[in-house]
Structure 1
Amino acid sequence: MAATVQAGRRPLRLAPNYWLFVLPALIVVLAVIVFPWAFTIWMSGNEWTLGSPRSFVGFANYLRLWADPRFWESLGHTLWYTLLSVVMPLILGTLAALIFDARFPWRGFLRGIFVMPMMATPVAIALVWTMMFHPQLGVLNYLLSLVGIPAQEWIFNPSTVIPSLVAVETWQWTPLVMLIVLGGLASLPRDPYESAEIDGANGWQKFYHLTLPMIAPFIMVAAIIRSIDALKSFDIIYAMTQGGPGTASETINIYLYNTAFAYYDIGYSSAMAIIFFVIIVALSLILLMLRQRLQWSEAEGK
């Protein structure tokens, strides 16, 4: 009887006024997301400098990118900056999570102090660290002088500018990695550790064979978030160095900004934006595939 009733039912149809509720959200999505990207793709096929006539050139801007040494230099700076800005917070954030996972007095208060850099605005951070990096007046060189280390040029030297910027990025975003990994540590089961203790495993063996494999998915999530964020980093770099000295810290974001708003080459900067978006999507997909494979490996291990 129930099967007959179910078979006799007609599929539900949405009332005609349903689209009145969907239409505003659809308009917002089209206006904020779809139209800007469609317009950027269209502009990338044109040669247009503000103040001059626009002309369609097809893929000429993309071919120009291929032959542009400054673009490849900025791409190298971007990848090097991203690699360091991901690896350093992952190492230090995981170490901090292991420390704060232990029980000791004032643990909650110290956690709150540790995550405070995340709350500061990037421009304020850039201004403070720029003063700290000053070769003559900066506090960092003063601290180095106390232990007999000569003064460093930090962001004013092409060979040290990117590591110096990475130090600022690491200081700000290590707490994010710590919070993600700390959540993973809080969810770990206790049974494997009790079995390992019965078998006589020491602290390093428990960390390497139990803790690290079980928190690896959380570390991968942190790596994905940090990779995407570091790839599109702009505000701290621009506020501290504007891509200098020379072009030593000019990432794709800085080069794109200068091309669009200093040289007013809209068509070329649009092509650069499209290529940069493709790079971000490709790296994100690779990291997601690695995370998925990591989950499969963990499931097979169980």
Structure 2
Amino acid sequence: MTAVQNRTPRPAAQLPPRERLSRWANKNRKWLFAGPSMAFVALLLVIPLAWTLVLSLTDSKRSVRRPFDFIGLENYVEALTDTERFWPSVGRTLAFTGGALFFELILGMIIALLLWKPFRGQGLVRTIVLLPLVATPVAVGMMWRLLFEPNIGFVNEFLSWFGIPAQPWLADPNTSLATLTFVDIWQWTPMVALILLAGLTGLSEEPQEAARMDGANAWQRFWYVTVPLMRPVIIAAVLLRGIDALKTFDILYATKGKGGGAFHDVETLNVYAYGLSFDYNEYGLASAVLILFFLMILAIIWVIQMQRKATS
């Protein structure tokens, strides 16, 4: 009876350089494959953000070639004390994002539930539901601008069939933000529905069957079984769509133009910062607004993550 001795690997210091390099590469292959892409993305994020931060501390204006001086936090103080443009823009940004996200989640869940179970013609229905995502936001904005036109738009023409007078949907400062929130809901609800449908498809049937055998009705199964199981997917949809809605610019600018309209009625932080940069050439102040906007997005993400950990 012969004893079999286990061969112990040789120490790395005793290996030839080529074999030592091969062992190191095999051990760190995940970083070697992902490293170039991660470095590229980091450069795309870090360099513009760092330059924006530098500009926010200067009096840069009028021309990008004009020498500028560092003025510390003066731009931040000016922005935070501006009750005519900055804080109303913050309010519109939060109102637009909150309203769009609320209805997109509800409508997206309804659509996902309707498409969850197989039925005849399901592929055609899914294609039709996803059609709003095909067009670019600028094209969508111009299309709805024509549809909401007070005199020749189809929306007012359709309402006239029921005796409802024409409405100044985008011309009235009191209705323009809500109207564009509706446009955003129309375009992006399918994306939320797609995310939620992917989550529903991955759910097990066993909890639903157990609840059904216990006598739970459809609403009880949805609220007490489906929603808790779907919570991680719902939070992911909120994060993805919420951040995207906060950054909305193209639809607002395509329909209302500079300053979010003559009365700044749809001027969000994105539109405000764009106007400061390209209309008034206030690069330092615009950079400060963008840094504050970035910090606001980080704070919202942190709150959502803390809420997710508290409920998990």
User: Same fold per TM (> 0.5)?
Assistant: yes
Gaps of 5+ in 1: 16-20, 297-302
Q: How does 1:1-302 map onto structure 2 within 5 Å?
A: 5-6=8-9, 8-10=11-13, 28=40, 32-51=44-63, 53-69=67-83, 70-242=85-257, 243-294=260-311, 296=312
Distance in 2, matches of 1:22 and 1:200, equals 50
Going from structure 1 to structure 2, the CA distance change for 1:7 and 1:291 (only over 3 Å counts) comes to farther
Q: Match of 2:103, as an amino acid?
A: M
Q: Match of 1:82, as an amino acid?
A: T
Distance in 2, matches of 1:180 and 1:233, equals 20
- Paired residue secondary structure (1:147): coil
Partner of 2:28: none
Partner of 2:29: none
Distance in 2, matches of 1:121 and 1:86, equals 19
- Paired residue secondary structure (1:291): helix
Q: Match of 1:119, as an amino acid?
A: V
Distance in 1, matches of 2:52 and 2:39, equals 19
Going from structure 1 to structure 2, the CA distance change for 1:26 and 1:173 (only over 3 Å counts) comes to closer
Q: Match of 1:36, as an amino acid?
A: P
Deviations 1:112-150 (A, max 9, x none): 110011111111111100000101111111111112222
Deviations 1:191-213 (A, max 9, x none): 22222222222211211211122
User: 1:45 touches 1:271 (CA, 8 Å); kept in 2?
Assistant: yes
User: 1:156 touches 1:245 (CA, 8 Å); kept in 2?
Assistant: no
Going from structure 1 to structure 2, the CA distance change for 1:291 and 1:119 (only over 3 Å counts) comes to farther
User: 1:126 touches 1:240 (CA, 8 Å); kept in 2?
Assistant: yes
Distance in 2, matches of 1:288 and 1:117, equals 30
Q: Match of 1:111, as an amino acid?
A: R
Distance in 2, matches of 1:219 and 1:254, equals 29
User: 1:224 touches 1:288 (CA, 8 Å); kept in 2?
Assistant: no
After TM superposition, give the deviation of residue 158 of structure 1 in Å: 0.9
Partner of 2:30: none
User: 1:241 touches 1:249 (CA, 8 Å); kept in 2?
Assistant: yes
Q: Match of 1:5, as an amino acid?
A: T
Distance in 1, matches of 2:297 and 2:119, equals 41
Distance in 2, matches of 1:23 and 1:140, equals 52
After TM superposition, give the deviation of residue 96 of structure 1 in Å: 0.5
Going from structure 1 to structure 2, the CA distance change for 1:214 and 1:146 (only over 3 Å counts) comes to same
Deviations 1:152-205 (A, max 9, x none): 111111111111001110111101111111111111211222222222222112
Aligned-CA RMSD value: 2.5
After TM superposition, give the deviation of residue 57 of structure 1 in Å: 0.7
- Paired residue secondary structure (1:180): helix
Identity of aligned residues (%): 39
Distance in 2, matches of 1:282 and 1:24, equals 29
Q: Match of 1:50, as an amino acid?
A: R
145-154 or 57-66: which moved more? 145-154
Going from structure 1 to structure 2, the CA distance change for 1:291 and 1:130 (only over 3 Å counts) comes to same
Distance in 1, matches of 2:234 and 2:45, equals 30
Gaps of 5+ in 2: 26-32
Question: Based on CA coordinates, which of the two structures has the bigger radius of gyration?
Answer: 2
Going from structure 1 to structure 2, the CA distance change for 1:53 and 1:101 (only over 3 Å counts) comes to same
Going from structure 1 to structure 2, the CA distance change for 1:112 and 1:44 (only over 3 Å counts) comes to same
Going from structure 1 to structure 2, the CA distance change for 1:134 and 1:22 (only over 3 Å counts) comes to closer
Distance in 1, matches of 2:180 and 2:169, equals 9
TM-score (norm 1): 0.88
